[in-house]
């Protein structure tokens, strides 16, 4: 009997036939290798061998490297407790070295940035104290005049110093402008805050760097703070406005911010955390003929709630906030871990 017809020439009979796979390519997962003395950039490359969050972080470095090109206008959104947790110098250095063109942040981050600029410090603390519940621990901190941000402490007297700084160095200048113009923009407030922070920092020979607002002021990078009222900075501004001409125009920033988006040849969004800074950064493109060409977000918020803080950047594409062919990636992890890694690796590639 002739058995030759039982053997198909495409290899099905010997088990080697592979089905058509539209979404599959031969790209096997490797195994990250680490060694003593390797650079952050080399570590990020090893992340690219792996899967899940490691692969996302590796991709974030790639997109950030492209975004930090000289021809790309970078909008940087900074939410969360990034200043009190020690991320302040990373952002200030990015501004000074020309990697950030627009900063969108919270009044809280500007408050904590200013406190350090004028001589205050945040301190390592604890979530729990031995022999006490977390509530009892926080009640003790309340009695001792110490504010807690997870495992970071801030003595309350630094807020009093900040109030004096605003009332003596920042608000009077703006009040004089309001008497002439009727109101000032929030961006004008952040600009004057940066000037005062830089001046006091140098005059008082403060050990700590002058920080984010000062770097932005000295390098003509605008800071937008659309929810400034939601902070100690905003509370102090409101209280000062009760006794004089000082007031803020919440809509005044929209035109200059939109103009920057209109004039950008290419634009990139680097978003740390969610909330107002993320949305304010992304929505800028809703009134621009173009959208973001690059986007990276570092967040811990899940997308399944439908909230913007965890929403994917792919979802933002459906709104027209990102170009259809934009390079984008979301990294779901603690930004105090991912921000230093991504920035260090991208800068290593660009500067070495």
Task: Encode pLDDT of 292-342 as tens digits.
Answer: 999 999 999 988 988 889 899 999 999 999 999 999 999 999 999 999 999
- The answer to whether position 22 is within a domain reads no
Whole domain around residue 292: which residue ranges? 40-117+158-351
Residue 252 has pLDDT above 50, yes or no: yes
Q: Of the ranges 5-14, 20-29, 61-70, which is most confident?
A: 61-70
- The answer to whether position 31 is within a domain reads no
How many folded domains does the chain comprise? 1
pLDDT digits (tens, 9 = 90+) for 42-57: 999 999 999 999 999 9
- The answer to whether position 235 is within a domain reads yes
Secondary structure element (H or E) that encloses residue 233, with its range:
helix 232-241
Cα atoms in the 13 Å half-sphere on the side-chain side of 7 = 7
The Cα 182–Cα 157 span in angstroms is 33
pLDDT digits (tens, 9 = 90+) for 139-193: 999 999 999 999 999 999 999 999 999 999 999 999 999 999 999 999 999 999 9
91 pLDDT band (50/70/90 cuts)? very high
Residue among 121, 303, 321, 324 flagged as catalytic: 321
Residue 11 has pLDDT above 50, yes or no: no
Pairing status of strand 123-124 against strand 152-155: antiparallel
Which two three-digit tokens encode residue 30? 């490797």
Secondary structure element (H or E) that encloses residue 54, with its range:
helix 52-67
- The answer to whether position 129 is within a domain reads no
pLDDT digits (tens, 9 = 90+) for 190-218: 999 999 999 999 999 999 999 999 999 99
- Identify which of 82, 79, 88 has the alpha carbon closest to the alpha carbon of residue 308: 79
- The answer to whether position 137 is within a domain reads no
pLDDT confidence of residue 24: 87
Average pLDDT over residues 117-146: 96
Q: Is 324 known to be catalytic?
A: no
18 pLDDT band (50/70/90 cuts)? confident
CATH number at residue 105: 3.40.910.10
Alpha helices in 150-223 (DSSP H): 157-165, 171-181, 186-203, 212-218
- The answer to whether position 21 is within a domain reads no
Torsion sign, CA atoms 233, 235, 238, 240: negative
The Cα 333–Cα 106 span in angstroms is 20
Residues 6+ apart with CB under 8 A from 351: none
Q: Kindly report the pTM of this predicted structure.
A: 0.92
pLDDT confidence of residue 69: 87
The Cα 192–Cα 94 span in angstroms is 20
- The answer to whether position 4 is within a domain reads no
pLDDT confidence of residue 2: 52
pLDDT confidence of residue 16: 64
DSSP bridge pairs for 148: 153
Which two three-digit tokens encode residue 349? 């590639």
- The answer to whether position 151 is within a domain reads no
The Cα 129–Cα 191 span in angstroms is 40
């Amino acid at each position: 009997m002739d058995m030759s017809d039982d053997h198909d020439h495409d290899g099905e009979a010997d088990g080697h036939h592979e089905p058509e796979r539209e979404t599959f390519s031969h790209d096997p997962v490797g195994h990250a290798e680490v060694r003593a003395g390797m650079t952050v950039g080399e570590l990020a490359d090893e992340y690219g061998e792996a899967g899940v969050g490691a692969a996302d972080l590796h991709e974030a470095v790639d997109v950030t490297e492209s975004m930090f090109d000289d021809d790309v206008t970078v909008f940087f959104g900074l939410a969360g407790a990034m200043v009190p947790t020690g991320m302040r110098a990373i952002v200030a250095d990015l501004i000074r070295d020309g990697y950030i063109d627009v900063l969108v942040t919270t009044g809280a981050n500007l408050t904590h940035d200013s406190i350090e600029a004028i001589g205050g410090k945040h301190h390592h603390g604890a979530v729990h104290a031995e022999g006490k519940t977390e509530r009892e621990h926080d009640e003790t901190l309340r009695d001792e005049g110490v504010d807690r941000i997870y495992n970071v402490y801030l003595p309350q007297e630094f807020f009093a110093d900040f109030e004096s700084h605003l009332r003596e160095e920042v608000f009077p200048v703006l009040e004089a402008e309001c008497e002439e113009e009727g109101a000032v923009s929030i961006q004008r407030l952040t600009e004057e805050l940066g000037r005062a922070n830089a001046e006091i920092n140098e005059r008082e020979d403060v050990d700590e760097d002058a920080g984010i607002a000062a770097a932005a002021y000295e390098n003509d990078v605008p800071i937008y703070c659309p929810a400034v009222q939601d902070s100690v900075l905003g509370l102090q501004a409101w209280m000062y406005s009760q006794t004089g001409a000082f007031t803020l125009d919440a809509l005044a920033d929209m035109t200059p911010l939109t103009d920057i988006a209109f004039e950008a040849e290419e634009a990139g969004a680097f978003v740390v955390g969610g909330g107002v800074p993320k949305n304010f950064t992304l929505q800028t493109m809703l009134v621009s003929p173009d959208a973001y060409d690059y986007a990276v977000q570092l967040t811990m918020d899940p997308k399944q709630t439908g909230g913007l803080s965890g929403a994917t950047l792919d979802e933002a594409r459906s709104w027209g906030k990102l170009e259809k062919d934009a390079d984008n990636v979301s990294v779901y992890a603690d930004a105090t871990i991912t921000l230093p890694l991504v920035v260090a690796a991208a800068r290593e590639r660009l500067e070495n």
